[in-house]
Amino acid sequence: MVNYTIMSYLRNFTESIQQKGVARHFLFWIGIILLTIPQNVLESDQPFIDALVYKLCVLIPQVLSSYFVAYFVIPMYVSKKKYVVSLFLIIIGTYFFAALSRVFIIHIGETLVRTPPFEQETILEIITQLRFLLLYYVPPIYSTVFIFLAVKYFMNYKEVKEKELQYEREKVTSELKTLKAQLNPHFLFNTLNNIYVLSLENSPKTPKSIEKLSKILDHVLYRCNTKFVSLSSEIELLGNYIELEKLRYDDRLEINFNNRIEQDGEIAPLILLSLVENAFKHGAGEDSGSPKIDINFHNTNAQFKFVISNTVFAASDQIERTPIGLKNIKKQLDLIYPNRFELQIDNSSTLFTVTVIIKNK
């Protein structure tokens, strides 16, 4: 069991170093050396080389204790709520690394720096000086451990947030593609069906309708692959669509297309087209009366406002109007304009109105 735990620790430690990069750890410890050597020189009037030797003697236990706590005690015991074992390991580790630091300084550092002959403490004397180790060796070791842990978990937190942000971006992109895939086939089916009806009638309007459809497809297939398109191009798309729909109606259909655009801007593609297509489907496609569709644009520096309304003649049409398309549009607006839009729906007995307001940045 002990061998398995040690092997697991070594494996986790090796994987972590490989994932995070050796260079990042190397730079951290170089930074610790550069920050503490000047302090050692000033406090003891040591030559720089002597201070470096002593610092390296202390650095090795600092490194070992930092990795011991960060990659062994915390992930294998603290995170699993084994607090008694964690406390025991930290106490044992504190004593061991403090004693190790003192041994390195006495038997390695002083041997390299001091001129013999001189007396040295024995290892037995070192490991029995508990109070001395606690006062003079534990603080510098565990202050470094705390710094290491703080940097480690800050970097981990940053990486987690970046991954979450990247995931959200990918999720938004995926959902937007799904929404567009739901809208475009529906529109194409209705339009092709209209052209099919005209062709069966040998209508001279057929070539013109195909031309309008070609322009619409050019916009949908080649110009809507970005998150935003220019408002002017989207209005041109709606104009082509309206002209295409007007080909299959006589004078009974009244369309008012009011454009008050003070300045061009950007907008998510195909949202407005879906609303217009929905108005034709429910406001002009099924009734035998005199349908009317009003479309109003207004764009200023502060906000963009789009209002579309269509007459409703049959009560059954209102019941049948399950707002699946409107739910998709609302979801798309939520993804692209979080907390920056309003979607208002007014469904009366004779008029169905949808208002979209988007606050410009």
Buried b (16+ CB within 10 A) or exposed e, 51-67: bbbbbebbbebbbbbbb
Spatial separation of the C-alpha atoms in residues 335 and 333, rounded to whole Å: 5
Q: Which residues contact 342 (CB under 8 A, 6 or more apart)?
A: 355, 356, 357
Spatial separation of the C-alpha atoms in residues 13 and 336, rounded to whole Å: 41
End-to-end CA distance of the chain: 60
Query: What does the pLDDT profile of the chain (361 residues) look like in tens digits?
Result: 545 555 665 566 555 555 556 778 888 888 888 877 766 555 566 677 777 888 888 889 999 999 999 889 988 899 888 999 999 999 999 999 999 999 998 888 888 888 778 788 888 888 898 899 999 889 988 889 999 988 888 888 877 888 877 777 777 677 666 656 655 566 677 778 878 888 888 888 888 888 888 888 888 778 777 888 999 999 999 998 888 878 767 677 889 988 888 788 899 888 898 888 888 877 766 555 678 899 999 998 889 999 999 888 654 444 444 455 687 788 888 888 988 999 999 988 888 999 999 998 7
Q: If DSSP codes are grouped into helix, strand and coil, which group holds residue 340?
A: coil
Spatial separation of the C-alpha atoms in residues 303 and 305, rounded to whole Å: 6
pTM above 0.85, yes or no: no
Q: Identify the pLDDT of residue 116.
A: 79
DSSP 309: E
Q: What DSSP line would sit under 151-198, residue for residue?
A: HHHHHHHHHHHHHHHHHHHHHHHHHHHHHHHHHHHHHHHHHHHHHHHH
DSSP 71: I
Q: How many other C-beta atoms lie within 10 A of the C-beta of residue 74? A: 17
Q: Are strands 292-299 and 266-267 parallel, antiparallel or unpaired?
A: unpaired
Instruction: Give the residue ranges of DSSP H helices in the chain.
Output: 2-20, 22-44, 48-68, 83-104, 110-113, 123-127, 130-136, 138-200, 206-222, 231-246, 271-283, 315-320, 324-336
Q: Name the burial class of residue 273, with classes exposed (0-12), middle (13-18) and buried (19+) by CB atoms within 10 angstroms of its CB.
A: buried
Spatial separation of the C-alpha atoms in residues 250 and 227, rounded to whole Å: 37
Q: Identify the pLDDT of residue 314.
A: 59
Residue 113 CA neighbour count, 13 Å, CB half: 19
Spatial separation of the C-alpha atoms in residues 60 and 2, rounded to whole Å: 24
- Contact by Cβ (8 Å): 303, 359: yes
The DSSP bridge partners found for residue 266 are: 230
- Contact by Cβ (8 Å): 93, 117: no
Provide the residue ranges of all domains of the chain, joining segments of one domain with +: 2-136, 169-359
Q: Which residues contact 263 (CB under 8 A, 6 or more apart)?
A: 299, 300, 301
Q: Identify the pLDDT of residue 103.
A: 92
For domain 169-359, give the fold: Heat Shock Protein 90 (3.30.565)
